[in-house]
């Protein structure tokens, strides 16, 4: 009889989590409060590790974990796990990204109501012995417009609660289709329209390069005077200094933050600002949410150890042992193509098509499709992986199409990813060199061969003499070294594409200078 998998629960969790492990055929030890050296001494005997935020799974811990096969985080954030190193050691890292969605949504609604009626200040002054009845004049939420920045899992729950409060809801989300908006009962809008219409704004988006400071000083100035703002999503989505200025000027009537750019936020520019309330990152802090994530992580770890099932893994797709060696190079190519088109395509993204030709057409398309979606949606979600990417795409109303072509073209194998945007279809294609090395071969209809790796710069310019020298000089004068240089064009003298790999990221100021070069139409930084 084979030995039972052994699991360590190293952070305090609901006791039912341990019971789930036992019921599913695992041995389990609950040993919490371990110091790093104590964890190192015992971790080698365990196949699975269930944690929350207290346990730090560092390189040193992983080196000592000679039998560890899976790490499960009860919750979303995995900053306390060295995922790249765990991956290099063949350890699966899982999280539970949806276990606290309702709790976080409810906290956002609670913060909105607290702002509307100035409850924290009224409570403080009343308990201080005052009776400041005339000092507080609130506003009703009934009939007001709520602007959702992000209409995914948590945002859609907030929308349903707001509609129940008889509010109007306007939503901005690149993945929100008209059909999904109708289903949710919200009005789909661009960001500027939302800012102009909303009486309340709540944020429900991850922190990415696209969303960092999405409520900048410039965008705060576009909001309706008297707007109230709630952020229970991620710190860094709001320019905190600009928000303080807007509160002090009275343009923003109130703000409620559960998250900050730097945490713990023991000293923040917003502290003491008028009509500002805050909580110490309590979005997921309810009994129900903590029970949910504990039970989910136990189920996921047990399923993996006992039957090989993979759910919400952050560093591996759903693959059988037989398929994995052949599929992995294709999945690497697929993720890079998805990431590329996700970074370059803009507008109303409604449909994505994944085409496989030649040798790729003979393979299992699901992992390739999931890899494309994972790369594509990483621009908008910091919890996406190859397992949950198809679910997230479906939730957002994205129409995903997978097409298999029997014919073989110029390349022995080819993947093509096309997204439908409001400006028309945008397509990229790639192949494998030597059946291993991913290579881009076409971008938006222009043939160009390039590796997709590290920091890159995408430029569309008029094909004219002298441009290569100008861009090279500009980057060189600013200390940016070019690794590789890739050119493509439709016809001589027409539109040309330039892909540069850079040894370091490019600043916004330098990007603006590149935009000002004669003949330049588009400049965008890329990261892989």
**Catalytic amino acids?**
234, 263, 281
Measured distance CA(115)–CA(228) in Å, rounded = 7
Q: Which of 451, 100, 467 lies closest to 292 in space, CA to CA? A: 100
Identify the H or E element spanning 246. Answer: helix 240-249
Q: Which residue has the tokens 């329209």?
A: 193
CB atoms within 10 A of CB 524: 16
Radius of gyration of the chain (CA): 25
Residue 520: phi, psi to the nearest 5? Answer: -80, 135
C-alpha–C-alpha distance, residues 503 and 501, integer Å = 7
CB-based contacts of 70: which residues, under 8 Å, 6+ apart? 47, 48, 49, 91, 92, 93, 94, 301, 304, 305
Helices and strands, number each (H, E), in the chain: 17, 22
Q: What is the torsional sign of CA 237, 210, 391, 400?
A: positive
How open is the CA angle 438-442-447, to the nearest 5 degrees? 125
Cis ω before 264 (30° cut-off from 0): yes
CA distance 388 to 3: 31
- Non-local (6+) Cβ contacts of 350 within 8 A are 177, 397, 398, 399, 420, 421
For the record, the structure tokens of 31 come out as 């040993």
The C-alpha atoms of residue 355 and residue 250 are separated, in whole angstroms, by 53
Closest of 411, 473, 468 to residue 438, by C-alpha: 411
Q: Strand 92-94 and strand 70-73: pairing?
A: parallel
Beta strands in 299-412 (DSSP E): 351-358, 399-404
Distance of CA 515 to the CA centre of its chain: 28
Counting Cα atoms < 13 Å in the Cβ hemisphere of 164 gives 8
CA distance 44 to 42: 6
What are the strands, taking DSSP E only, across 327-394? 351-358
Please list, in sequence order, all residues whose beta carbon lies within 8 angstroms of the beta carbon of residue 468, skipping any fewer than 6 positions away. Answer: 485, 487, 498
Determine phi and psi for 255, rounding to 5 degrees. Answer: -145, 145
Question: What is d(CA 50, CA 65) in angstroms, rounded to the nearest whole number?
Answer: 13
Cα(252)–Cα(199) distance, rounded to whole angstroms? 10
């Amino acid at each position: 009889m084979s030995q039972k998998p052994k699991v360590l629960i190293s952070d305090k969790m609901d006791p039912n989590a341990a019971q789930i492990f036992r019921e599913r055929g695992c041995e389990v030890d609950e040993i919490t409060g371990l110091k790093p050296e104590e964890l190192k001494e015992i971790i080698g005997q365990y196949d699975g590790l269930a944690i929350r935020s207290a346990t730090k799974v560092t390189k040193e811990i992983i080196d000592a974990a000679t039998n560890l096969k899976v790490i499960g985080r009860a919750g979303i954030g995995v900053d306390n796990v060295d995922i790249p190193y765990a991956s290099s050691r063949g350890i699966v890292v899982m999280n539970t990204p949806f276990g606290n969605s309702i709790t976080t949504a409810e906290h956002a609604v609670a913060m909105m109501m607290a702002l509307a009626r100035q409850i924290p200040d009224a409570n403080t002054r009343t308990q201080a012995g005052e009776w400041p009845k005339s000092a507080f004049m609130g506003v009703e939420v009934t009939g007001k417009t709520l602007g959702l920045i992000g209409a995914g899992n948590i945002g859609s729950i907030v929308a349903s609660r707001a509609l129940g409060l008889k509010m109007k809801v306007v939503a901005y989300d690149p993945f929100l289709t008209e059909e999904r908006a109708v289903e949710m009962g919200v009005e789909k809008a661009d960001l500027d329209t939302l800012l102009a219409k909303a009486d309340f704004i709540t944020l429900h988006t991850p922190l990415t390069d696209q969303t960092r400071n999405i409520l900048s000083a410039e965008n705060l100035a576009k909001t309706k005077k008297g707007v109230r703002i709630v952020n229970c999503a991620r710190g860094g989505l709001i320019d905190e200094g600009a928000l303080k200025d807007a509160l002090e000027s009275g343009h923003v009537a109130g703000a409620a933050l559960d998250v900050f750019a730097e945490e713990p936020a023991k000293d923040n520019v917003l502290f003491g600002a008028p009509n500002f309330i805050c909580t110490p990152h309590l979005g997921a802090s309810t009994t129900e949410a903590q029970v949910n994530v504990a039970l989910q992580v136990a189920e996921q770890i047990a399923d993996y150890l006992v039957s090989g099932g993979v759910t919400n893994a952050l560093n591996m797709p759903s693959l059988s042992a037989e398929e994995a060696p052949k599929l992995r190079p294709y999945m690497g190519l697929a993720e890079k193509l998805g990431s590329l088109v996700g970074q370059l395509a803009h507008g109303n993204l409604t449909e994505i098509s994944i085409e496989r030709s030649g040798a790729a057409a003979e393979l299992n398309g699901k992992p390739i499709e999931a890899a494309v979606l994972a790369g594509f949606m990483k621009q908008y979600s910091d919890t996406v992986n190859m397992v949950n990417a198809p679910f997230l795409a479906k939730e957002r109303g994205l129409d995903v199409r997978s097409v298999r072509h029997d014919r073989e073209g110029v390349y022995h194998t080819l993947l093509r990813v096309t997204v439908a945007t409001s400006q028309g279809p945008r397509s990229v294609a790639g192949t494998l060199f030597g059946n291993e090395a991913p290579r881009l071969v076409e971008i938006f209809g222009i043939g160009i061969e390039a590796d997709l790796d590290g920091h890159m710069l995408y430029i569309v310019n008029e094909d004219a003499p002298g441009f290569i020298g100008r861009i090279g000089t500009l980057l060189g004068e600013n200390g940016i070294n070019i690794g590789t240089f890739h050119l493509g064009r439709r016809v001589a003298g027409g539109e040309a594409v330039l892909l540069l790999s850079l040894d370091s990221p490019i600043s916004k100021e330098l990007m603006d200078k590149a935009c000002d070069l004669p003949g330049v139409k588009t400049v965008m930084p890329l990261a892989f």
